[in-house]
Structure 1
């Protein structure tokens, strides 16, 4: 499985996880490029209580590069915040609370898929 397929599979796992808990996925793979800002928001979802979560999904099939959480650096968090502001500016929905979550999905060859989810990392 290539990197894009692995990433898509991880996002599918996360979207199913959220849907099973009553969340509504509003967008996937939202991309922006302009004004010196460029990037993608993997999953944008609304909780049953109205909380908006921007979910950064990191999928790994091995441990050579650490866990998915290891890849979410302060620089990445700053980019996610800026992209979130941009998405909110372009969206008509009103959200009282917004947070950034990280989901680490592990898909070892021949092994079970595991998901670890951390809410409110930023």
Structure 2
């Protein structure tokens, strides 16, 4: 699998996992000029902007380490666009990260970690 296929697989796995955890999926791959949010969901009345990071090994550290300050700023900007577009200005929101580790190229899930409230607006 190439990186794009791994990323798409990770997003599908994350979506299924989030539904099992009680989230309601509102939108997948919300795109506007300037970026994308992997998953927008609702958890107990809170709008969650979710970044999914998938890895097949530990060579580059934990998946969440890839959500650096620049990525956080881009996600924050996209979250504001989503809230504005959907007239959700007064709703509580947060940023979550789903880390997924896959077993080599087989695509078998080794581990999933949900980090709620992983960062604040940048």
Same fold, TM-score > 0.5, yes or no: yes
TM-score normalized with structure 2 length = 0.87
CA distance in 2, matches of 1:81, 1:45: 15
- CA offsets per residue over residues 73-111 of structure 1, 9 Å max, x none? 112111111110011111145662100011111112255
Who is 1:121 aligned against?
118
Which secondary structure state, in structure 2, belongs to the residue aligned with residue 66 of structure 1?
A: coil
Structure with the largest fraction of strand: 2
Who is 1:76 aligned against?
71
CA distance in 2, matches of 1:95, 1:15: 25
Would you say the 8 A contact 1:51–1:95 is kept in 2? no
Q: What is the aligned-residue RMSD (CA, Å)?
A: 1.6
Q: Structure 1: which 4+ aligned runs deviate by more than 4 Å?
A: none
Any gaps of 5 or more consecutive residues in structure 2? none
Q: Is residue 18 of structure 1 aligned with residue 18 of structure 2? A: yes
Would you say the 8 A contact 1:30–1:41 is kept in 2? yes
Aligned ranges for residues 57-68 of structure 1 at < 5 Å?
57-68=52-63
CA distance in 2, matches of 1:22, 1:99: 16
CA distance in 2, matches of 1:87, 1:112: 30
